């Protein structure tokens, strides 16, 4: 008899699969052993994310202070906005899988340097380096890694200055050094990166077409760099 769903699977297979999936989840993911494992490990994981959130607050405050203090001499605010995020569990697990990192909290703290992220959006390219230098000169900040994708853009056209730093957080009875990734960009670089990130989700284009669009995005990034430099030149003429 002709099946009613499609040509590969007999009718009713979807229901069977769904029942199988549900049985699998009940027997494995909802087993006592697994639920005990979740209970045992949730608190340390929550604690780790809370510490990263504390480190973000420390770094964000430092930039707010720098913005306020620099604004007096500059007569303008060098920071347009600050965005922060703790890496999503999904993105964290993907990175651990990609880099083959052991499934322990110590391994995460040691190897994943961007669990805590702070993005500082600046007005002009010069502001990026002035803020980064002022931030790094603070005696409780330790530079771990620096990647200057403004001087050497990524093949995609991506431009930003990335710093990995360690910052202390002060807990009830201990001081803990936490890693934070700080990304500095101009408004124009951020505009490009946000849109390029969204367009990345479209993966089903033919190879030739994808290459044309990648070239187009790289070209847009170059035009954006020109705009940043022109705006900076205007600012210099205005003595700001």
- Residues forming contacts to ligand 0O2 in the complex (CB under 6 A) are 87, 91, 113-114, 117, 147, 154, 156, 158, 162, 193, 196-197
- Which CB, 156 or 232, lies closer to ligand 0O2? 156
**Is residue 206 classed as helix, strand or coil in its secondary structure?**
coil
Whole-number minimum distance, CB 92 to ligand 0O2, in Å? 8
- Which CB, 81 or 91, lies closer to ligand 0O2? 91
Whole-number minimum distance, CB 214 to ligand 0O2, in Å? 10
Residue 118 has a CB neighbour count (10 Å cut-off) of 24
- Which residue from 78, 165, 77 is spatially nearest to 113, judged by alpha carbons? 165
From the list 110, 181, 196, 208, the catalytic residue is 181
- Give the bridge partners for 179, in sequence order: 166
- Which CB, 127 or 190, lies closer to ligand 0O2? 190
Determine the Cα–Cα distance for residues 164 and 179; give it in Å rounded to an integer.
7
The answer to whether residues 213 and 196 touch, using CB atoms and an 8 Å cutoff, is no
- Which CB, 62 or 87, lies closer to ligand 0O2? 87
**Is residue 8 classed as helix, strand or coil in its secondary structure?**
coil
Whole-number minimum distance, CB 95 to ligand 0O2, in Å? 7
Q: Is 27 a catalytic residue?
A: no
- Give the bridge partners for 143, in sequence order: 165
Q: How much is the CA Rg of the chain, to the nearest whole Å? A: 24
**Is residue 169 classed as helix, strand or coil in its secondary structure?**
strand
Whole-number minimum distance, CB 112 to ligand 0O2, in Å? 7
Whole-number minimum distance, CB 54 to ligand 0O2, in Å? 19
- Which CB, 172 or 202, lies closer to ligand 0O2? 202
The answer to whether residues 100 and 145 touch, using CB atoms and an 8 Å cutoff, is no
The answer to whether residues 122 and 79 touch, using CB atoms and an 8 Å cutoff, is yes
Catalytic positions = 181
């Amino acid at each position: 008899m002709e099946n009613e769903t499609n040509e590969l699977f007999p009718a009713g297979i979807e229901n069977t699969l769904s029942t199988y999936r549900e049985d699998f989840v009940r027997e494995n993911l909802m087993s006592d052993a697994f639920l005990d494992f979740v209970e045992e490990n949730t608190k340390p994981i929550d604690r780790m994310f809370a510490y990263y959130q504390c480190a973000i607050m420390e770094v964000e405050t430092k930039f707010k202070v720098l913005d306020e203090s620099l604004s007096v001499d500059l007569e303008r605010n060098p920071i347009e906005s600050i965005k922060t995020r703790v890496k999503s569990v999904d993105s964290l697990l993907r990175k651990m899988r990609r880099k083959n990192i052991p499934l322990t909290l110590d391994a995460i703290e040691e190897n994943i340097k961007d669990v805590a992220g702070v993005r500082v959006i600046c007005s002009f390219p010069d502001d990026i380096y002035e803020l980064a230098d002022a931030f790094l000169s603070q005696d409780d900040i330790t530079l771990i890694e620096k990647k200057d994708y403004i001087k050497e853009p990524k093949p995609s056209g991506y431009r930003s200055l990335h710093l990995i730093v360690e910052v202390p957080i002060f807990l009830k009875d201990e001081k803990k050094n936490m890693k934070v990734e700080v990304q500095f960009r101009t408004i124009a670089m951020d505009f490009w990166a946000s849109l390029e990130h969204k367009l990345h989700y479209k993966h089903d284009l033919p190879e030739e077409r994808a290459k044309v669009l990648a070239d187009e995005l790289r070209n847009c990034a170059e035009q954006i760099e020109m705009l940043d430099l022109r705006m900076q030149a205007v600012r210099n003429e205005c003595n700001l």
